[in-house]
Amino acid sequence: MVDGAQRLEDEFLLKLVDFAYGQVDASEIEKLSLEVSWAKGWPKDPVAFWNVETFLWQRRIPKKKRDFIETELLKIKESKDSTLGKSLDIGCGSYSYIVSDVGLDVSSRMLKFNDRILEKVQGDLEEKWNFSSGEFSYVSCVFGLNYLNKVDFVLSEALRVLSQGGKFVVVLSAKGVSALHQQHEKQKFGLDSWKLLLEKHFGTVDSYEKEDLWFFFGIK
Ligand SMILES: C[S@@+](CC[C@H](N)C(=O)[O-])C[C@H]1O[C@@H](n2cnc3c(N)ncnc32)[C@H](O)[C@@H]1O
pLDDT in tens, 137-190: 999 999 999 999 999 999 999 999 999 999 999 999 999 999 999 999 999 999
Pair (75, 169) in one structural domain: yes
Pair (130, 200) in one structural domain: yes
Whether residue 39 has pLDDT greater than 80:
yes
Residue 1: per-residue pLDDT: 59
Pair (89, 128) in one structural domain: yes
Query: How many whole angstroms separate alpha carbon 189 and alpha carbon 207?
Result: 14
Residue 203 CA to ligand 1 centre (angstroms): 25
DSSP tally for the chain: helices H, then strands E: 8, 7
Pair (54, 73) in one structural domain: no
Beta carbon of 91 within 6 Å of any ligand 1 atom? yes
Handedness of CA 147, 150, 152, 155 (dihedral sign): negative
Whether residue 20 has pLDDT greater than 90:
no
Residue 83: per-residue pLDDT: 65
Query: How many whole angstroms separate alpha carbon 65 and alpha carbon 42?
Result: 27
Pair (8, 71) in one structural domain: no
Pair (195, 110) in one structural domain: yes
Beta carbon of 144 within 6 Å of any ligand 1 atom? yes
Beta carbon of 105 within 6 Å of any ligand 1 atom? yes
Query: How many whole angstroms separate alpha carbon 7 and alpha carbon 118?
Result: 32
Residue 76: give the domain boundaries.
Answer: 63-219
Per-residue CA distances from 23 to 12, 16, 17, 58, 101 (Å): 14, 9, 9, 18, 39
Q: With bands split at pLDDT 50, 70 and 90, how would you rate the model's confidence at 2?
A: low
The total number of structural domains in the chain stands at 2
pLDDT in tens, 87-102: 999 999 999 999 999 9
pLDDT in tens, 58-98: 778 899 999 999 999 999 998 876 667 999 999 999 999 99
Atom of ligand 1 nearest to the CA of 89: 6
Beta carbon of 92 within 6 Å of any ligand 1 atom? yes
Residue from 61, 89, 107 to probe ligand 1 pocket by mutation (most atoms less than 8 Å from CB)? 107
Pair (47, 73) in one structural domain: no
**CATH number of 96's domain:** 3.40.50.150
Atom 1 (ligand 1) nearest CA: 143
Pair (79, 32) in one structural domain: no
Residue 21: per-residue pLDDT: 86
Residue 92 CA to ligand 1 centre (angstroms): 6
Distance of CA 187 to the CA centre of its chain: 14
Is the Cβ–Cβ distance between 205 and 169 less than 8 Å? Answer: no
Residue 158 CA to ligand 1 centre (angstroms): 15
Residue 82: per-residue pLDDT: 65
Domain-ending residue, one of 60, 92, 108: 60
Pair (125, 44) in one structural domain: no
Residue from 38, 56, 57 to probe ligand 1 pocket by mutation (most atoms less than 8 Å from CB)? 57
Pair (87, 110) in one structural domain: yes
Residue 184 CA to ligand 1 centre (angstroms): 11
In the predicted model, what is the mean pLDDT of residues 128-132?
Answer: 98
Range list of H helices, 45-133: 46-60, 63-78, 108-113
- Close Cβ partners of 58 (under 8 Å, ≥ 6 residues apart): 94, 95
Is the Cβ–Cβ distance between 121 and 102 less than 8 Å? Answer: yes
Pair (20, 67) in one structural domain: no
Whether residue 28 has pLDDT greater than 90:
yes
Atom of ligand 1 nearest to the CA of 110: 27
Q: What is the mean pLDDT of the chain?
A: 94
Domain-ending residue, one of 60, 79, 100: 60
Query: How many whole angstroms separate alpha carbon 216 and alpha carbon 142?
Result: 10
Pair (89, 196) in one structural domain: yes
Residue 23: per-residue pLDDT: 92
